[in-house]
């Protein structure tokens, strides 16, 4: 039987949108350096369609992926969208070139970014719009205020934030209802533990970006390698299983441009670590 994303359970974002707790990150369907068109656009669209077939109903993207390429491919592959599909996108970065990212949290820039995403995704309202990063040159309240205005205009349904501290999350929540946080978090990078705890306490979705990093923890003969072997899995699959069991609000969004890797990632939703395995991984990664 083909594993599906449904085995990981669900989470209701803002008590409105129910998503399965293993989504798809659409950054890697673009070109090298998250820049330009993919080498094989047909394959990229096939990956998107297969994700839905496997039960994934949360796709995360951003206007800066390409830039614009990822959103265009999603619309080309999946529009008109099935009712259960939640598309999350982001604004707040500009792209001067391949591999280069510059924050732009000016209200006018965020509003322009959102309007562009609406056009490319071919929707009247974005399910989940996330402020992509804090811009040190712009008061955070002004950036979040722009998203609130867009929500009041009916162009955004739910709002999320990304790359934030606990203080910044609190500040955003004073201005608007925040339903999710997207921070870097994985086995080898757990600096957002305090933000995850805050999300857990408040019932906010926590979307870890770069979730598959395992680094030296996957060395042959090491604990992670042994646990993966016991489950007939890869270290990356065990890393995803560990994330899913770490918190009830965890929403990993592993991305790939490969159908085989997509199948592998989704299959991780069906892996259940024992308490001893979970504790072992937690110790070696902390």
Q: Which residues are catalytic?
A: 65
Give the integer Cα–Cα distance in Å for 260 and 237. 13
Q: Judge whether 240 and 211 are in contact, CB under 8 Å.
A: yes
Give the integer Cα–Cα distance in Å for 250 and 272. 15
SS3 call for 69: helix
Structure-token pair, residue 120:
């490319």
Give the integer Cα–Cα distance in Å for 26 and 38. 12
N-to-C CA span, the chain: 35
Give the integer Cα–Cα distance in Å for 129 and 162. 10
SS3 call for 71: helix
For 126-141, b/e burial (b = at least 16 CB within 10 A) is bbbbbbbbbbeebebe
**Cα angle 175, 176, 180; round to 5:** 125
* Torsion on CA atoms 105, 109, 114, 115, rounded to nearest 10: 170
């Amino acid at each position: 039987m083909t594993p599906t994303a449904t085995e990981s359970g669900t989470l209701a974002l803002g008590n409105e949108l129910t998503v399965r707790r293993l989504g798809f990150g659409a950054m890697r369907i673009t070109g090298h350096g998250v820049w330009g068109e993919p080498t094989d656009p047909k394959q990229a669209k096939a990956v998107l369609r297969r994700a839905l077939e496997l039960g994934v109903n949360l796709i995360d993207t951003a206007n800066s992926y390409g830039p614009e390429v990822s959103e265009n491919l999603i619309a080309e592959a999946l529009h008109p969208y099935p009712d259960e599909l939640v598309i999350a996108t982001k604004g707040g970065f500009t792209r001067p070139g391949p591999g280069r990212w510059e924050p732009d949290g000016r209200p006018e820039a965020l509003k322009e970014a959102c309007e562009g995403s609406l056009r490319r995704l071919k929707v009247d309202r974005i399910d989940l719009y996330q402020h992509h990063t804090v811009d040190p040159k712009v008061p955070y309240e002004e950036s979040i205020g722009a998203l609130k205005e867009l929500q009041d205009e009916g162009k955004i349904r739910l709002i999320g934030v990304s790359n934030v501290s606990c203080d910044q999350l609190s500040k955003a929540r004073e201005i608007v209802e925040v339903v999710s946080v997207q921070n870097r978090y994985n086995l080898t990078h757990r600096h957002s533990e305090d933000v995850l705890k805050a999300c857990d306490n408040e019932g906010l979705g926590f979307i870890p970006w770069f979730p598959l990093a395992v680094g030296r923890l996957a060395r042959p003969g090491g604990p992670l390698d042994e646990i993966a072997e016991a489950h007939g899995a890869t270290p990356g699959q065990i890393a995803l299983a560990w994330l899913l069991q770490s918190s009830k609000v965890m929403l990993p969004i592993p991305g790939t441009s490969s159908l085989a890797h997509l199948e592998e990632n989704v299959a991780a939703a069906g892996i259940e670590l024992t308490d001893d395995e979970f504790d072992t991984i937690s110790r070696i990664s902390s």
